[in-house]
Chains A and B, each alone.
Chain A
Amino acid sequence: MTVQYSELIQPERVHGSLYTDPSIFAEELDRIWYRTWVCVGHASEVARPGDYVRKKVAAQDVIMTRSTDGEISLLLNRCAHRGNLVCEDERGNSGSFRCPYHGWTYRNTGEMLGYPYNQGYGGKGKLSLGLGRVPRVDTYQGFVFASFAADGPSLKEHLGAAAGELDRLARLSPEGEVELTAGWLKHRAKANWKLLVENETDGYHPQFVHGSVFSVTGSHIGNLYSDKSTAVTRDLGGGHSENDLRPEFRRMGTPMTWFGTSEAKVPEYVAKMRELHGKQAEEILIEGAPHVMVFPNLFVAEISVFMIQPTAVDETVQNVTAVQLKGAPEMNRRLLSQCVGSVGPAGMLLADDSEMYERNQRGMAARMPEWLDIRRGVGRERVDENGFRVGAANDETGMRGFWSHYRSLMEREDAR
């Protein structure tokens, strides 16, 4: 059966089978997850030579390593002998890896160093085998991306306008660098990955789903997504989208409001930024961090970073960590506690969202009405000065951008 994506994905609605059909999920692995650029981790997780961490690209078990010459590699965690897992630990430091089954040994670049009792192979260096390497690895602002396709658009091309949002995150650090060193939480949701991606820049749900959190904490976030808000949802192209809250923060005009705090609480940080950036510091401190969904799996939610990993058509793992800004210890403590409070094990925001993802998946088991509606705000969309489509803060502009890119990837005939 060939799926007709143009029938399932229409400008104002998408078909429920896109979230529930295992054969579509299998095609997504081929055409999206093992082809386009997918975010795997961050360079700061393997800061020193010999460091390694285990990562996932959909179902692929990947080891991210840093070699003695500083290069980052993504190796497939599969021994070239008989396929055993080579690395077991989530992280460690080792310049080489030895498979526990028969002792084949590899450099952390994947190169074979040797195997025990080599006479059985006619001596040393007789096998031109090594660990599999992800064909293309590239980084942007330290975020490490993988592409299983030997060629295709470069990472820069893939990121397009989303790159500027990662720059905006990095410039919040006095040293211009983000670090993802706080450790990862893994949240498993019984829901299709696209429900998570769509929700990340859905400004329609916060006032509803997160209403109780906002009222308990006295948070102003809900208002940012109200119908009166001047914030916008922007389709950044390439399937990327953002909730751009800057218009509201500029209107309020107070540094650190984006972070729900005041400069008095983080005096050293604010002073350091002013010293560094002069006049421009006010803009940086007022505008704050982005809220951007980078297709298909990197979500930066101001203070937290999410990497979305699909494991089955109806199961997704959301890997979450706190943003850490190099050279800003005062901020980092707060970033960590805010992150834990919102998306930690007892965090309030992600718990709300996860409940919605899972209810969504269960609801879609019902046969009718078949479609999911994505038309909100179609009639009030406009094109901004940079040529991007924008809608109101609570419009579904981001989802429509996601689906049009998704469709272009899934329909490509050369995909097989």
Chain B
Amino acid sequence: MGDRPRDRRSDHDRPAGSPARRPGDLRVVGTAHRRIDAVGKVTGRTQYADDLALPRMLHAKLLRSPHAHARIAQVDVSRALALDGVHAVLTGADLPTPFGILPVSQDEHALCPDRVRFVGDPVAAVAATTEEIAAAAVDLIAVEYEPLSVVGDPAEAIAGDAPLIHDYGDAGNLHKLVNLEFGDVEEGFAAAHHVREDLYFYGGNTHLAMEQHASLAEWTPDGRLTLWSSTQTPHYVHRALARVLELPPGRIRVVATPNGGGFGGKSDPFNHEIVVAKLAMLTGRPVKIALTREEVFYCHRGRHPTLMWVKSGVARDGKLLGLHFRTLLDGGGYGSYGVASTYYTGALQTVTYQVERYKFEGARAFTNKPPCGPKRGHGTPQPRFALEVQMDKIATDLGLDPAELRLRHLVTADTITANWLRVGSMGLGACIAKVVDASGWRTRRGTLPYGRGLGLACSSYISGAGLPIYWNDMPHSGVQLKCDRGGGVTVFCGSTDIGQGSDGILATIVSEVLGVPLGEITVVSADTDLTPVDLGSYSSRVTLMSGNAAIQAAERARDIISQHAAEKLQVPAERLVFAEGRVFDAADPDVWLSFAEAVQGAEARTGTVGTVGSYTPPASPGRYRGAGVGPSPAYSYSAAVVEVEVDPDTGIIRVPKAWVAHDIGQCINPAMVMGQVEGSVYMGLGEALMEEMVYRENRGLVHKIPSMLEYKSPTTLEMCDVETHLVADPDPNGPFGAKEVGQGPLLPIPPAIANAVFDAVGVRVDEVPISPEKVLRALKDKARGGPGRTGPTAFPDIPWPEPIRVPTPWEGGDGKALKHDAAGRRGRAADQSAAALPRSGAASHPERQH
């Protein structure tokens, strides 16, 4: 081939420091680098929703209910309308169509038409020339309420005389009831060497993103609506707007502005988003709303307070022969993600340690409080707390080292669990080994002076939910790519940067595949007019799903460009390498084109160089009703050891240090991974020690502390030192092997702290937050000769439905439920729901159950 004409360049043409690159080497992925949006953020140029303003913009305010539960008898807006500067007033009658994030829970109205269900439920809205006038006008709206009796917690919700909060649900105020059985747990308990039953409670807490929700709507005379909003899920907001406003989706554009933190709190379509859109349509002027911090506490959608009962039967070596889990979630006033949250309190118990037989009963109650929904870890920190403390107790009972107990019974890679989740890569063993070594666990645990202790806990989390929120068989994430003649590349993707760095992930991945420098990649994201759908920033799905879509789009672009470059350079296409802004021959790096030249050639040959990529998760083997929650393309794993100092006189806990190891699969940008781990540890610390949503029971359930001062969250003075270890066990389903990191590392922190408190002072606080009062109560209990425990003492009677029985893989099951005969006994295996679904192997989906 030596005599062919070749585009050989002299050495000094070659960009400095560009050694030959072998195909398959990683150049950008895995290196710590500045994320593409960093400079905007450190210079104050990033525009969050409330930073936007349009000419002639009006300001909106919501009137919120002062009652936790009441009928709306009458609303008189005449005095508000008469106020100078007021342009429009809305009430429930103006927006009659209900909405909600899950198709099975369309139970919200933009403004309550006839009934309010929590203090803060919006009743009316005003648009005025200034925020002050809008606020004054809201005060002039007269609402006549007929108070109803108030349901304060799940126990009250299921009491016989409780008023019904909604007219739908599985039983009275029980919004959702689940009963799933994988193998016969009773058989497991009978065979067990040791059985224990425990009760746990995980308190409710909230996201507290630093940015309050804000939205700006514009309606133009051509009948088009644009909404800029601090949302994590522009696609779902788009759908909700079309539904409630009765507009064709093609006339609505939703742009998610960079979120000033989300953590799940901006994942629902919200009242205020619909209200400003409607107000813009009515007034013909842009309308903005910026919620106050107090209002954000009312929007909530945070962690469900969850009561849990756990029964475990273990063999002499600690193997879980049977695990029976009951959860009761306090859902608040609306459905939100609650059906999914309920399933999530039972879904992931099986992916860390082998569980032979598993039974899960879950219930979610409606109560007259702000709705709960997804917060970092969505439905899994609560059961994880219970399971990890339970494992610690089992270890103590059996005289085993808690780390050893876990290591002995790890789920192995590439297996299917009792509840039919397919686990791929599994790096938990390596994670445990790292934190055990780094913390000096083997020598220090149990030997520290009274008041100091070490605790260990582990966890796992999904890298994206296997199924979308509304049933469809389209991809979960799409990417479009445009290669410019000048050598730049623009990546279009619906994914939303909520601070986690998803824009940077897209840029890094495209840079890796096409060899274009990061600085020459533009990311356009989260804009329903411009970008292909990505379902949203929730369930830790974005890196894996949009990342895989980006790889596909970029590889397609590379193929197009390669065809031309191969011809031009007279090199076989498969020998071409794209790196450092060049396309060159792997065998002879001096034969090259610049990326821009290569694009120009390809464009001359085939036209505009643009490609698409998309990603659909693999089908899950579980095919029973309820199998839709839990499957994921890949599971991340984390382990943590936390050191505590407990003051036995005050009960105050100080956490000097946490060692955490996270199985990330592969870092796309390690600097960002580190931040996600540390931020997760921080949030877990806050949940474990201090964060709690509290309501005044004797004052009609008004939120006790809707302010940042009173809602305690860790400051620099409470935050612990963190030593982070990253375990890279690449998963074949992840982009370059990457798995999630945004949520998983939160999960082990609360149970590790609870376990450390036990190591420090010998008492069990089976309840989060582990406040000083609870520690003191347990210490007093112990001093009086009691068991030394604070925690719940009873689990109410729930009318559990007949279980759905699914044989485990090792019982020869096929992922489907057994069919029940009339007496509820087992019969022939039959598919409960999958037959109705278009894709074979697709699991049923919670929303399809009603």
A and B bind: no
- Show the binding face of A for B, using Cβ within 8 Å: none
